[in-house]
Structure 1
Amino acid sequence: MAHCPFDFFTDGKKHNICLVGGGGKTTVMYELAAAWAACGRRVLVLTSTHILCPADGSFAGDVPAVQNLWQQGRYAVIGTPEFATGKLTLPPQSVYEALKLQADVILCEADGSRHHPCKVPAEYEPVILPDSDIVLAVAGMDALGNSLQQACQRPQLAAELLCCSAEKIIDAQMLASLLLSEQGTRKSVVVRAYYIVLNKCDLLKAAQQEEMLRLLVGAGMDEHRIWLRERGE
């Protein structure tokens, strides 16, 4: 992956990061996990909802297995297997409590989008870990030019939030509004640091990227907390 531009990536501090929003969260999460592990940091990966159980041997069923992966310079994925679906859910609290004290970085996928590039959370979403200090929002730029119905999970909620029809074509202003709304992607952030990954920016022309930045920064978002991420980084 290309170097993550966010300050927390290289500050050497312990962080507990929850990823929310649209499609691309899992990819970003694992890329960050691999990059931190390569730097010698003990990285713990989990979900507070559901993720596919990884097939690369990074799943660890107990505390010793996690420690073994760390000793190998790898990140460790923990969770409770759902054998019917092949997915992982939230790990047992006792396992998480034991490991969070030892981990240097914790990454948690705290939201689902069913591969839609953007979303508006339901009442029970997202499931942010109480001890997290950073929320990392992800939105796919392939949402632009498609309708809310096509590109947004829970399009009716998005339509209500934006006061428009679910058939409305998503433009930069609409996407920026979803990312910054406390009823949208910024829901439940409260006092946590908030960062945004604009995913698949290689699909945009330079002028469109600049417009997204202008809208987000103009609404009060720190430019240094926005990552214009291209596919393949």
Structure 2
Amino acid sequence: MSELTAALDAEGLVCVVGAGGKKTTMYALAAESDRAVVTATVRIPIFDPHVARVEVTEDPLATLVTADDWPLGLVPEREFEDRYRGYEPDTVDEIGAAHDGPVLVKADGARMRDFKAPGANEPRIPEQADTVIPVASAHVVGEPLSEELVHRPERVAAVAGIEVGDEITPEVVGRVLASPDGGLRGVPPGATAIPLVNKVDDEGDLEAAREIADAVLEHADRSIVPRVVLARMVDAEVREIVE
């Protein structure tokens, strides 16, 4: 098992949510596994270059029986030229139960932003998820809470107790990642959540990420959140683990 896979508890049915590197995280984990499945419960950009093969099928379990190309992408439909549609969460539960390797699931959207709080109808996490990875980027620290970097800034403001336009501090990011109305929303009973602070590119980012991790661990339910991972996922590099 790789350091990245171990740090993120990325075995079994693994759902990635949040903003600032969900897809990069999924593809990095898939590349480090012998038998990974990549799928989604929401729309997902075309990801064929990141897997050995994408199978577009309404019967993913039949595909799993004969699959021999890994990592394997499974989706039900190419909905738009640049997007696949995701499966219903109960179908992804069935994929997870039938597969003997990690099933990596994109479970919400963020419109290419670096930080977010979930909307009313998300995330779409399957009930049998083993691990949920809420992601945020260290690059938002020090920036104003606005739509330029943040998806649904008004929701972030409500969860963190600040106003749209205020400065995003490490405390704000940590509060949102640790909140049952933020990064921990929809985590099923019995699942583990491993928050991931991504885009830790330099020493300034590392300092900010450590402060975010401290805030997460201060505010989170520690029976659900055992640690926070600080990483640079573009290189699949774990920078630090904070427990």
Q: 2:241: which partner in 1?
A: none
Distance 1:133 1:95, change over 3 A: closer
Task: Specify which of 38, 48, 64 is matched with residue 45 of structure 1.
Answer: 38
Matched, 1:119 2:116: yes
Which moves more between the two structures, 207-216 or 182-191?
A: 207-216
Q: 1:104-143 residue pairs with structure 2 within 5 A?
A: 104-143=101-140
Q: 2:55: which partner in 1?
A: 60
Offset at residue 50 of structure 1 (A): 0.8
| Structure 1 unaligned regions, length at least 5 | none
Q: 1:20: which partner in 2?
A: 17
Q: 1:199: which partner in 2?
A: 198
Superimposed CA distance per residue, residues 37-58 of structure 1 (whole angstroms, 9 cap, x where no aligned partner): 2xxxx22211100111223352
Q: 2:214: which partner in 1?
A: 214
Distance 1:153 1:65, change over 3 A: same
CA contact (8 A) 1:141 1:203 kept: no
| Structure 2 unaligned regions, length at least 5 | 237-243
Residue identity in the other structure for 1:17: V
Identity %: 21
CA contact (8 A) 1:16 1:132 kept: yes
Superimposed CA distance per residue, residues 76-111 of structure 1 (whole angstroms, 9 cap, x where no aligned partner): 111122343331122377697367413321111001
CA contact (8 A) 1:20 1:109 kept: yes
Offset at residue 137 of structure 1 (A): 0.9
Residue identity in the other structure for 2:55: A
CA RMSD between the two structures: 2.6
Offset at residue 201 of structure 1 (A): 1.0
CA contact (8 A) 1:100 1:106 kept: no
After TM superposition, where is structure 1 displaced by more than 6 Å over at least 4 residues in a row? 92-96
Instruction: Provide the C-alpha distance between the structure 2 equivalents of 1:135 and 1:19, rounded to a whole number of angstroms.
Output: 6
Instruction: Provide the C-alpha distance between the structure 2 equivalents of 1:98 and 1:156, rounded to a whole number of angstroms.
Output: 35
Matched, 1:187 2:169: no
Superimposed CA distance per residue, residues 5-26 of structure 1 (whole angstroms, 9 cap, x where no aligned partner): 42735xxxx6111111112000
Instruction: Provide the C-alpha distance between the structure 1 equivalents of 2:211 and 2:40, rounded to a whole number of angstroms.
Output: 33
Instruction: Provide the C-alpha distance between the structure 2 equivalents of 1:45 and 1:20, rounded to a whole number of angstroms.
Output: 14
Number of aligned residues: 222
Offset at residue 75 of structure 1 (A): 1.1
CA contact (8 A) 1:44 1:103 kept: no
Residue identity in the other structure for 1:160: A
Instruction: Provide the C-alpha distance between the structure 2 equivalents of 1:96 and 1:103, rounded to a whole number of angstroms.
Output: 13
Q: 1:6: which partner in 2?
A: 7
CA contact (8 A) 1:23 1:114 kept: no
TM-score scaled by structure 1?
A: 0.83
Q: 2:153: which partner in 1?
A: 155
Residue identity in the other structure for 1:178: V
